[in-house]
Structure 1
Amino acid sequence: MTTGISRAPKGAFNARQLWTSLPEAFRKLSPRDMWHNPVMFIVEVGAALTTVLAIALPFLNHTTGTTIAFTWWITIWLWLTVLFATLAEAVAEGRGKAQAASLRKTRTTTMANRVLDYDEKTDASAGAARVESVASAELTLNDVVVVTAGELIPGDGDIIWGIASVDESAITGESAPVVRESGGDRSAVTGGTRVLSDRIVVKITSKPGETFVDRMIALVEGAARQKTPNEIALNILLASLTIIFVVVVLALGPTAGFAHAAPSVTVLVALLVCLIPTTIGALLSAIGIAGMDRLVQHNVLAMSGRAVEAAGDVNTLLLDKTGTITYGNRQAAEFRAVTGSDGDELIEAAAHASIADPTPEGQSVVALAETLRGFDTRSASATRPAGAAEGGEVVPFTAQTRMSGVDYPDGSQVRKGAPSAVLAWVAEAVPDAAFTEAKADLESQVTHISGLGGTPLAVAERAADGTTRLLGTIYLKDVVKTGLKERFADLRRMGIRTVMVTGDNPVTASVIAREAGVDDVLAEATPEDKLALIRREQDGGKLVAMTGDGTNDAPALAQADVGVAMNTGTSAAKEAGNMVDLDSDPTKLIDIVTIGKQLLITRGALTTFSIANDVAKYFAIIPAMFVAVFPGLQALNIMHLHSSNSAILSAVIFNALVIVALIPLALRGVQYRPSAVSSLLGRNLLIYGIGGIIAPFIGIKLIDLLVSLIPGF
């Protein structure tokens, strides 16, 4: 498989990303950009203030004891603190821009054959219609175009006539061509993809500049990323804490003046920067951007950050049975001979009847025969040819006969199909009394297989002399995808309820549900049933996620909190959902929920660490500021820092470096292990709470040892 969207390097942070993002980081230092982040805006204002002081100090008669060198060191590291914050955001955005660059290559202006005065009722194929050649940029909503083999599809649309093989590798990354056809759930086509065969008529469903590729580019670049409700709430909290500490620091100067211990402006700015939650303030935007980027890495596009966040809070998952829980095609699992027949006869007859069957079910019968008895498809087809080869004639399946098989030149025949149809075929040649025991045996097998949720097929043969016999049944079953039961168990530990949605009858549905390990079943489901189920869950205060690809899924996708539309689906489905899976893999929904939870956990973990590591800074700066006037504060200097100036500078340096150290974690995300909320909270507090307290003590002490080597400290 090739890669449709250019992937960012696996490493969350490397020298190349750093270098290429540096110019953008400097550009983001503009106050017009910084004021959106109140915490870092205050740091930038402080850096600007100390810069002015450092320049002015040589010309002032200052008696605070603050040296020019100390002021410049503080100023440099305050600016680096702001730069590291903008660098984190620039690196996160840069990964998206690299992915968008490859998408732009697919957005080329092509010439389109626009149909004039198209009438769908009388000219469905547009075979005799008048067409004009126009640039794709000139196409408007509801225009009709004709696209033939070798041509690029000029814009997003739905096929209204025809069927074609389409190369979508530039969009999805899948090198194998896909089939798109009118009148179904696979009628949507994307502008910039290439038709490989046949001829199709497409109705344009997008305006210029609003194609799917255009939206993808905007999303992966972050231009359309809006802050989520939780992110907004956290920003308000951080801004509130910043305002509180600004007031405290402003009041500290005059208050300390009464004790003749008024600190310098430089020291007060350093104190403020170390008090406010700079770490999470610097990384918050990068965490959100990286969350959407991780979805893109999985070939999923989220229409908003809100959708990613909602995925992390999902309580109920609606999963289609076919293609999501099962492989989508029934597979032969067992051959069961009836009285008067043996297994070898049944297997050989079933394989012969299936050689020319192109369906996955038919091919699975041949594959099972090869596995069980070493049945050789090539030699069998030579002995009893399928189709017209060697005079044999394939009897295709029809809705009327409900059987398929092969008629051979010697007059012998094999039939495979619905049990009632095969029994009727046998009864045409044999009186009921002649095969009563075999018939009862077969009916018993049919009942048993149906009770297991499977589909029974009967097999019979007729010899050249007219002798007709029942041979047995083939057990077709929906095969549950490997590993799903364990993944559903993980979801259950996370507090997520899984519901399998299927059109099967309740008996079959319950069997598959038990085997897959889902929590509940919605059988014989209609679009109205899905919508009603989602609303019931939401009325109970739960968030619901689901996948869909058809127009009939659109209402439920729009109602769900996380609606993942398949890229192979209709335009209506993609417009209704708030995520699009380019791989069209319904099981991706489980990965989406995991990524959403990882985003929330990463934000919570780094917020915990940011607040916790402020504790060590208090022990560094507060004693340094007032120990000369209040010697008793020396007891708080548990790190035994070299001097007041080295303690303050060390705390500021650590405050800046910890941002750089956490950028890889912010982009990669905290590792997520499915477990209960209480367990996750305990792990979070242990690692990032206690760790956030211990790490700064060690870091500040090491930095102080280095700073003490600088003359004047």
Structure 2
Amino acid sequence: MTAVIQAPEAPAAPPETKRSGIGWEQVRQAVPGAVRRLSPRHLWHNPVMLIVWAGAVLTTAIAVIEPFAGGPGTSGGTQVPVAFTAIIAVWLWLTVLFANLAEAIAEGRGRAQADSLRATRTSTTAQRVHAYDADADAPAERARTAAVASSDLRLGDHVVVTAGELIPGDGDVVWGVASVDESAITGESAPVIRESGGDRSAVTGGTRVLSDRIVVRITSKPGETFVDRMISLVEGAARQKTPNEIALDILLASLSIVFVLVALTLNPIASYAASPVSLAVLIALLVCLIPTTIGALLSAIGIAGMDRLVQRGVLAMSGRAVEAAGDVTTLLLDKTGTITYGNRRATDVVPLAGVTREDLLRAAALSSLADPTPEGQSIVELARAEGMTLDARTPGDVVPFTAETRMSGLDRPDGTRIRKGAGSAVRAWLAAEGAPLSEADAQALGAATDAIASSGGTPLVVAIAAPGAPARALGVVHLKDVVKEGLTERFAELRAMGIRTVMITGDNPLTAAAIAKEAGVDDYLAEATPEQKLALIRKEQEGGSLVAMTGDGTNDAPALAQADVGVAMHSGTSAAKEAGNMVDLDSDPTKLIDIVRIGKQLLITRGALTTFSIANDVAKYFAIIPAMFMGVFPGLGVLNVMGLHSPASAVLSAVIFNALVIVALIPLALKGVRYRPVAASQLLGRNLLVYGLGGLVAPFIGIWLLDLVVRLIPGF
């Protein structure tokens, strides 16, 4: 069946795939969600911000009571302004709100895409097969169908979908071939071919068939389709914390508990020195000492990492997979379609003695005019590129390729017969025609085929039998699995990251070695079976490596499930998509390299902002500790290196800076720290220099500037 591409009928708008910066509209839409998150039921999973929330509640209560209790009084031997506690309470609430805003913006960035995906879930009418007519010629014509709502389809049902109709549910094509518009899911406007019996058989509910007719077996239950899972994931509803995040949460909670104990012991010590500290100041001290910056941004960083994958057309089924991608040390890539273009192309011809290059190329091209395979069409393209004029209507009977003959060709009306195929098959055909190869031709043909095979190519022998002349071999066509441009540089970049690349192929070792050398991979596995792929992954994991691989076929499913990062192609089989923990909506296997980069960027961003947060807290000590006690212990004034105006202005400036720095870092948390493939020691050095030193310096400047403003408030 020939797939004729037609224009789609009002396709759904593609999802947004590229975003830059944070607009005011995004902030406006996120504010209501941030306010709703002020509930402790939402904050319990973030212990740092839960402590800030509790401090805000307590400070608010104190601010309400103080006017009836004679005002705030003194703190650390210094008079506290009347509005001090109320202002502290406001900024503590803003600190919690800003933390919620970061998470709300991160989750909101996926809602536009989720809305466009929901548009594809409209109930459609499906032609469900209920019986077959055994006398009809084709399965789609034999099917007796009944119209039902797509919501009534069940797992295992068969439906017939024709041109212009929406595919009613996720499934596999079991008969036919058609072009399908998947723009509503992938954002790509170009239609794709889906056909039965291969790794391009999976179809998604809500996509539109543009040509021909196919029979689809439904592979999902209502409400459990791929689109339903996508909506849940891009909205963040199904996102679970990764082990790294959980460990960091435990660390932050531990630090918070330590500082709670510190804050609780300060007031007895101060009271003993006849200089009690107000509860509002103690709460401010606690909030500034605990790592609020990273506590506020941690969830947003994780959500943004998954969102960056969605922007590049990759759906991560879990945050754990994104994080694991950042630690990958071994990358397994299929040769076909990943390292090479997948379709072998004719690049040259080698004529035998007494045969001109033009005669050989013309004969090969004539036998390929009706050959629909990419290899056959590449021979025609090579001939035309060399200036030959070929009439696509050349008469004759096409001899299709079969596994039995291992040849294809053309029988022309004048009796001329052309054959091209495997060397042994063509030799057998010549012998059957009574014209076996001479010893000289056999040696020349063997040398040419061996040279092509050793270079990683595939040789096709061409022979001709014309009326009144003996059959004879003309020469060899060189088919080459062409390595994609730029891959050598990308593999070198991965090597700089410390990642080992392994090519997996079903080719013989000779061909595999040649392709591996040309592509620049570190190793290869030839004649690979599903069992061998699985064994290789387990061996790497037993050696302490984290392994990523990509695949699209059912035979890849075991390896995808075993790999730490398994990227299934959206165009692949349902088994492959179920086994992997990521799905590439664009079905571009080389995207695995980008996935690794995004994973590393996620880990680096988290590490950088954690470094900044801890260094940031150190600087605040120099603002608050002197402010609390230098009224009683004047010697502490030497620690007031910023020259802050008063204890009250110092505490308030530190609290305000603590809140504003969260807002300032939201764009960086969402965009991610830029990743460069350098050694770990260089990365650590840069991290400490930029974010460690920056975390120390920024508060000194920020708190000093805020103090200049705060001191203008009467009473401060």
- TM-score calculated relative to the size of structure 1: 0.92
Is 1:623–2:632 an aligned residue pair? no
| Among 667, 673, 678, the residue aligned to 2:676 | 673
Which residue in the other structure is 1:77 paired with? 91
Judge conservation of contact 1:544–1:561 (CA < 8 Å) in 2.
yes
Is 1:641–2:644 an aligned residue pair? yes
Which residue in the other structure is 1:575 paired with? 578
**Aligned runs of 1:513-528 on 2, under 5 Å?**
513-528=516-531
- The whole-number CA distance in structure 2 between the counterparts of 1:460 and 1:209 is 57
How big is the shift at 1:448?
1.1
Q: In 2 relative to 1, CA 710–200 (structure 1 residues): closer, same or farther, beyond 3 Å?
A: same
How big is the shift at 1:34?
1.6
| Paired residues, number | 702
How big is the shift at 1:614?
0.9
| Among 668, 686, 690, the residue aligned to 2:689 | 686
Judge conservation of contact 2:427–2:436 (CA < 8 Å) in 1.
no
| Among 217, 220, 224, the residue aligned to 1:210 | 224
- The whole-number CA distance in structure 2 between the counterparts of 1:452 and 1:557 is 30
Aligned-partner residue type, residue 280 of structure 2: T
- The whole-number CA distance in structure 2 between the counterparts of 1:184 and 1:351 is 27
C-alpha RMSD over aligned residues? 2.7
How big is the shift at 1:436?
4.5
Gaps of 5+ in 2: 1-7
Is 1:7–2:16 an aligned residue pair? yes
Judge conservation of contact 1:439–1:470 (CA < 8 Å) in 2.
no
- Larger mean CA deviation between 234-243 and 466-475 belongs to 466-475
Aligned-partner residue type, residue 645 of structure 2: H
Is 1:19–2:28 an aligned residue pair? yes
What secondary structure does 1:323 align onto?
helix
Is 1:91–2:100 an aligned residue pair? no
| Among 302, 310, 313, the residue aligned to 2:324 | 310
1:265-303: CA deviations, max 9, x gaps?
Answer: 121111111100000000001001111111111111111
Which residue in the other structure is 2:541 paired with? 538
Which residue in the other structure is 1:708 paired with? 711
Aligned-partner residue type, residue 522 of structure 1: L
Gaps of 5+ in 1: none
- The whole-number CA distance in structure 1 between the counterparts of 2:425 and 2:325 is 48
Is 1:37–2:40 an aligned residue pair? no
Which residue in the other structure is 1:607 paired with? 610
| Among 481, 484, 500, the residue aligned to 2:484 | 481
1:334-372: CA deviations, max 9, x gaps?
Answer: 23333334444444444444344332222222333444x
- Larger mean CA deviation between 592-601 and 191-200 belongs to 191-200
Aligned-partner residue type, residue 696 of structure 2: I
- The whole-number CA distance in structure 1 between the counterparts of 2:315 and 2:365 is 44
Aligned-partner residue type, residue 422 of structure 2: A
- The whole-number CA distance in structure 2 between the counterparts of 1:4 and 1:667 is 25
Q: In 2 relative to 1, CA 43–318 (structure 1 residues): closer, same or farther, beyond 3 Å?
A: same
Is 1:172–2:181 an aligned residue pair? no
- TM-score calculated relative to the size of structure 2: 0.92
What secondary structure does 2:197 align onto?
coil
How big is the shift at 1:4?
6.5
**Aligned runs of 1:320-359 on 2, under 5 Å?**
320-359=334-373
Aligned-partner residue type, residue 559 of structure 1: Q
- The whole-number CA distance in structure 2 between the counterparts of 1:449 and 1:268 is 79
**Aligned runs of 1:95-134 on 2, under 5 Å?**
95-116=109-130, 125=139, 131-134=145-148
Is 1:441–2:417 an aligned residue pair? no
- The whole-number CA distance in structure 2 between the counterparts of 1:116 and 1:70 is 77
- The whole-number CA distance in structure 2 between the counterparts of 1:274 and 1:123 is 78
Q: In 2 relative to 1, CA 4–671 (structure 1 residues): closer, same or farther, beyond 3 Å?
A: farther
How big is the shift at 1:107?
0.6
- Larger mean CA deviation between 124-133 and 355-364 belongs to 124-133
Q: Percent identity?
A: 70
- Larger mean CA deviation between 118-127 and 189-198 belongs to 118-127
How big is the shift at 1:711?
2.7
1:641-666: CA deviations, max 9, x gaps?
Answer: 22222221111111111111110111
What secondary structure does 1:202 align onto?
strand
Aligned-partner residue type, residue 187 of structure 2: G
How big is the shift at 1:603?
0.8
Q: In 2 relative to 1, CA 122–310 (structure 1 residues): closer, same or farther, beyond 3 Å?
A: farther
- Larger mean CA deviation between 273-282 and 560-569 belongs to 560-569
How big is the shift at 1:125?
3.2
How big is the shift at 1:217?
0.5
| Among 492, 497, 516, the residue aligned to 1:494 | 497
| Among 378, 390, 394, the residue aligned to 1:380 | 390
- Larger mean CA deviation between 10-19 and 424-433 belongs to 424-433
- The whole-number CA distance in structure 2 between the counterparts of 1:6 and 1:712 is 54
Judge conservation of contact 1:256–1:262 (CA < 8 Å) in 2.
yes
- The whole-number CA distance in structure 2 between the counterparts of 1:671 and 1:397 is 51
Judge conservation of contact 2:302–2:319 (CA < 8 Å) in 1.
yes
**Aligned runs of 1:418-437 on 2, under 5 Å?**
418-423=422-427, 436-437=439-440
Q: In 2 relative to 1, CA 406–185 (structure 1 residues): closer, same or farther, beyond 3 Å?
A: closer
